[in-house]
């Protein structure tokens, strides 16, 4: 699953970068989402695979804090990029004639930079709050990675301030991104309903369906983690929900976006066809000499 995630997302990046026809805002954000997904899952899965292979589940305190930081950073980037992509769809469908005027390259760069800065501040704040806690030695985290909630519950000191900051930041940023996505899609649905032809409606809905599916899967699994950890106190339920957004969602993204996207498939066909021709040409040139 990890190899599928890495190579699948690399193929999307390769397709977008190799085809000039895909150098548009939509594919710019999609390639960055694929880039973030690779690093997001790489903060967790390689360590987990190493633990399985060596039968050693030990992680140092410093390693745990680093995993929390990078997990929150790339996870935050994932959520912000999904919100930015929803805004891109909103402008493309609701204001098609003004799309190129509104969504300029400068705006795309600014949105990406803003997402990066907010993710950096969010992960830094959460990590600094966790660092302030004191932990007893040889604690066992009932999880397959250093998930913030699970680590905080093992602290030997008072966690009220940490819990307050953690949930406030999560609700502010995660809830704000979700609100932006829901607002964008409410406008999109309203605009699609105004389309007279059934074919036009179907095309518009199918265009946004893949993005909406990814958003739903991500947010439902994240909410499942918080609900399961708060209500049932079951590590198994929390771990199962965590697998959905740390492993399954990044793996499904390439299939969802590429298999339903003719432009991506065509770009990959052209790229591999060119590489095959280059290979034949090189072999032919060597044989001649």
Report the distance separating Cα 85 and Cα 88, nearest Å: 5
**In sequence order, which residues have a C-beta less than 8 Å from that of residue 53 and are 6 or more positions away?**
none
Contacting residues for 28 by C-beta, under 8 A, at least 6 apart: 16, 108
Decide if 287 is inside a domain.
no
Structural domain includes residue 218? yes
Tell me whether residue 156 is in a domain: yes
Domain hosting residue 222, numbered range: 2-271
Q: Is 197 domain-assigned?
A: yes
Residue 173 lies in a domain: yes
Cα–Cα distance list, 101 to 95, 96, 105, 250 (Å): 10, 10, 10, 32
pLDDT in tens, 185-219: 888 888 877 777 676 667 667 667 777 777 887 78
Do the domain assignments include residue 153? yes
pLDDT of res. 226: 64
Q: Please check whether residue 96 lies inside any domain of the structure.
A: yes
Residue 55, domain CATH? 1.20.1070.10
User: pLDDT per position in the chain (289 positions), as tens?
Assistant: 899 999 989 988 988 888 888 888 888 998 999 999 999 999 999 998 988 888 888 888 889 999 999 999 999 999 999 899 889 988 988 888 888 899 999 999 999 999 999 999 999 999 999 998 888 777 788 778 888 888 888 888 888 888 888 888 888 888 888 888 888 888 888 887 777 767 666 766 766 777 777 788 778 777 766 655 555 456 666 777 778 788 888 888 888 776 666 777 777 777 777 767 766 665 555 565 6
Q: How many domains does the chain have?
A: 1
Residue 264 lies in a domain: yes
Whether 92 contacts 98, CB under 8 Å: no
Report pLDDT digits (tens) over 219-233.
877 776 665 555 545
| Total-model pTM | 0.86
How far is it, in rounded angstroms, from Cα 8 to Cα 13? Answer: 9
């Amino acid at each position: 699953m990890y190899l599928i995630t890495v190579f699948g997302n690399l193929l999307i990046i390769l397709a977008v970068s190799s085809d000039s026809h895909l150098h548009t805002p939509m594919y710019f954000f999609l390639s960055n989402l694929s880039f973030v997904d690779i690093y997001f899952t790489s903060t967790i899965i390689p360590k987990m695979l190493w633990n399985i292979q060596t039968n050693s589940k030990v992680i140092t305190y410093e390693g745990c804090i680093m995993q929390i930081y990078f997990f929150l950073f790339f996870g935050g980037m994932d959520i912000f990029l999904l919100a930015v992509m929803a805004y891109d769809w909103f402008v493309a469908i609701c204001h098609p004639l003004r799309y190129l005027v509104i969504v300029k390259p400068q705006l795309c760069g600014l949105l990406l930079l803003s997402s990066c800065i907010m993710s950096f501040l969010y992960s830094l704040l959460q990590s600094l709050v966790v660092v302030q806690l004191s932990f007893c030695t040889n604690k066992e985290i009932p999880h397959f990675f250093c998930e913030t909630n699970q680590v905080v519950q093992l602290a030997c000191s008072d966690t009220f301030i940490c819990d307050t900051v953690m949930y406030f930041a999560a609700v502010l940023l995660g809830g704000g991104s979700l609100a932006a996505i829901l607002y964008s899609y409410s406008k999109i649905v309203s605009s699609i309903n105004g389309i007279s032809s059934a074919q036009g409606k179907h095309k518009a809905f199918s265009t946004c369906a893949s993005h909406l599916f990814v958003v739903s899967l991500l947010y439902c699994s994240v909410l499942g983690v918080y609900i399961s950890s708060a209500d049932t106190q079951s590590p198994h339920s929390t771990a199962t929900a965590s697998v959905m957004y740390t492993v399954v969602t990044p793996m499904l993204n390439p299939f969802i976006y590429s298999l339903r996207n003719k432009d991506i498939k065509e770009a990959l066909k052209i790229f591999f066809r060119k590489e095959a021709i280059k290979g034949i040409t090189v072999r032919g040139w060597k044989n001649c000499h």
